[in-house]
Amino acid sequence: MQRMDFSGQVAIVTGAGGGLGRQHALALAARGARVLVNDLGGALDGSAGSTGAAQAVVDEIVAAGGQALANTASVTDFDAVQAMVAQAVDAWGRVDILVNNAGILRDKSFAKMELQDFRQVLEVHLMGAVHCCKAVWPQMVAQKYGRIVMTTSSSGLYGNFGQSNYGAAKMAQVGLMQTLALEGAKQGIHVNALAPTAATRMTEALFPPPVLQALQPEAVVPAMLVLAHQSAPTRTILCAGAGGFEAAHITLTQGIYLGAGADTAEQLAARLAEVTAREGEQVPPNGSAQGMLEVGKALAARG
């Protein structure tokens, strides 16, 4: 089995000053990539900031014989993100890989959550990813190659109490991934999403010690490497944690045809189990598949 090699490639990893992002940056550098290590150096809630976190990871990479640069841009600042991408291009001539890892937490039940805390989490996770993708996109189009890894979450895919803001932002990244993968296909740009389960400072308070020991961030990194590699799939959601790997799919059931009569709502309620039955469900290739399925059933019903 040939070792995955990233020699000659340039990667940007956001939120790479600690935790999972640090492991991503170290792994890519260990396999030959030149890595721009981005980290605002802020607290879990996104406040404050310092240069120390990013530079410390750069120092680790350089000490191990790799090449790396530090960057402290906030992903919420598009001008700063553009300058970050320019920093990588000026130094190394290209950007092959973007790992959108930066994030914050402001957990609270929805009833008690301030709207500003909801908005700020969306700003960092969703708009931060948008800013980074937008900034690297022209470069990747020009070079006809790119690998973008979004960081989604089981909280977005399946929900988690107290994380309405985080879950909404993380599921939004999946929607962004779905469309960018379609738009980037002809340009050699593959876009995927990683749903990690890892013990980092964002999650250490959620798990007991034995679970934390199993959920080391290093165990998630192989999935990132697969999604960032030249051989990567596209429009794939990989889940990873504690050495286990799964895939998540957004599916569409076959459903039924009821028409649009006066009692259709009542019929739908009565036959809802048929609508939600998973036999024959599909993973749609794009958003139009839903409409095509519905119109197909309508035309078939008309005979």
C-alpha span between 110 and 100 (Å, rounded): 26
Residues shown for the chain: 303
Domain map of the chain by residue range? 10-248, 264-301
Cα-based distances in Å from 85 to 26, 48, 136, 216, 288: 19, 23, 6, 30, 34
Q: List per-residue pLDDT tens for the chain, 303 residues long.
A: 899 999 999 999 999 999 999 999 999 999 999 999 999 986 665 554 557 999 999 999 999 999 999 999 999 999 999 999 999 999 999 999 999 999 999 999 999 999 999 999 999 999 999 999 999 999 999 999 999 999 999 999 999 999 999 999 999 999 999 999 999 999 999 999 999 998 766 566 666 787 778 789 999 999 999 999 999 999 999 999 999 999 999 999 999 999 999 999 999 999 999 999 999 999 999 999 999 999 999 999 997
Rounded to 5 degrees, what are φ and ψ at 248? Answer: -105, 140
Pick among 3.40.50.720, 3.50.50.60, 3.40.50.300, 1.20.58.1290: CATH of 10-248: 3.40.50.720
3-state secondary structure of 209: helix
pTM of the model: 0.94
Catalytic residue, chosen from 145, 158, 166, 257, is: 166
Q: Where are the alpha helices (DSSP H) in 188-237?
A: 209-214, 221-228
pLDDT at 265 (0 to 100): 98
pLDDT at 202 (0 to 100): 57
A 10 A CB-CB count for 243 gives 12
C-alpha span between 52 and 22 (Å, rounded): 13
| Residue 166 designated active-site | yes
